[in-house]
Amino acid sequence: MSATLFVSDLHLCSTRPAIARLFLDFLARHAKQADALYILGDLFEYWAGDDDLAEPFNARICSAIHELAESGTQVFFLPGNRDFLADADFARVSGANLLTEPHRAEIGGIATLLLHGDTLCSDDSAYQEFRCKIRSVAWRSGFLAQPLAERKSQIEALRQLSEREKRIKSAASMDVNADAVAAAMRSHGYPRLIHGHTHRLAHHEQIVDGRTCERWVLGDWYDSGNYLLCDRSGCRFVMLPAA
Ligand code: MN
């Protein structure tokens, strides 16, 4: 039966080689059997710009995705907050189709809304303000105009700041906001919603305007791997053993 797989929040980087190997194995075995693979953001710990495609770790990951796409599995990439600078060259080298969010797709016969998930975390207003700034065309072109090494060191500084902030912010403010979820469901005709970002793997059923909606939250790839498999009979999580 034709299946569509979803992953997000792998945060791949060369300092976690076991998880990278697990992902390569997932591509070669599980994803190869599927019709389509959707990567819903934060595939990489960070992406400093498409001029970093030659970096050996990035090149290895992108060529493995390209191999999967060549073998007949369609690959879609919806950028997350860590890799929103991935652009046309990334798409060409990886063979992935770049999506912009919100993206709506027919998955196993059901209208499904796909998001990275950070836009749903509306309680964290400082983050939303920051997100708005860095997603502007002006910020993007200004940032990308700087040398690659300079961009990487700025991203590193930002990551350390965000780690410190995460310890201060309440767990609740970093989860999705129920009204933001309801609004997303409402404006897209109450479809099934699949997203990542919060790393809180779960299947939620919630009533929006009297309609039962489903929300699937993808898990991260820190201790092990996982993906969501959807087909005509529905969706289910598949856990991959630690590498
Ligand atoms: Mn994220």
Per-residue pLDDT of the chain (243 residues; tens, 9 = 90+): 689 999 999 999 999 999 999 999 999 999 999 999 999 999 999 999 999 999 999 999 999 999 999 999 999 999 999 999 999 999 999 999 999 999 999 999 999 999 999 999 999 999 999 999 999 999 999 999 999 999 999 999 998 988 888 888 887 778 999 999 999 999 999 999 999 999 999 999 999 999 999 999 999 999 999 999 999 999 999 999 876
Ligand 1 centroid to residue 210 C-alpha, Å: 30
Ligand 1 centroid to residue 101 C-alpha, Å: 13
Instruction: Please check whether residue 69 is in contact with residue 95, taking contact to mean a CB–CB distance below 8 angstroms.
Output: yes
Ligand 1 centroid to residue 147 C-alpha, Å: 25
pLDDT score, position 173? 78
Cβ within 8 Å of residue 111, ≥6 positions away = 104, 188, 189, 191, 192
pLDDT score, position 209? 96
- Residue of 178, 40, 41, 160 whose CA lies nearest to 105: 40
Question: The pTM is what?
Answer: 0.97
Strands 110-114 and 97-98: unpaired
Instruction: Give per-residue burial for 45-58: e unless 16+ CB within 10 Å, then b.
Output: bbbbbbebbeeeeb
The widest CA-to-CA distance across the chain, in whole angstroms, is 52
Ligand 1 centroid to residue 54 C-alpha, Å: 24
CA atoms of 144 and 48, how far apart (whole Å): 8
Ligand 1 centroid to residue 72 C-alpha, Å: 28
Ligand 1 centroid to residue 41 C-alpha, Å: 7
pLDDT score, position 1? 62
Ligand 1 centroid to residue 110 C-alpha, Å: 25
pLDDT score, position 243? 62
CA atoms of 59 and 162, how far apart (whole Å): 27
Angle between the N-to-C axes of helices 137-144 and 148-168, in degrees from 0 to 180, rounded to the nearest 10 = 130
pLDDT score, position 166? 83
Ligand 1 centroid to residue 243 C-alpha, Å: 23
CA atoms of 91 and 20, how far apart (whole Å): 19
Residues in the chain: 243
Under CATH, which number does the domain 4-242 receive?
3.60.21.10
Q: Taking the domains of the chain in order of start, what are their residue ranges? A: 4-242
83 φ, ψ to 5°? -130, 35
Ligand 1 centroid to residue 234 C-alpha, Å: 25
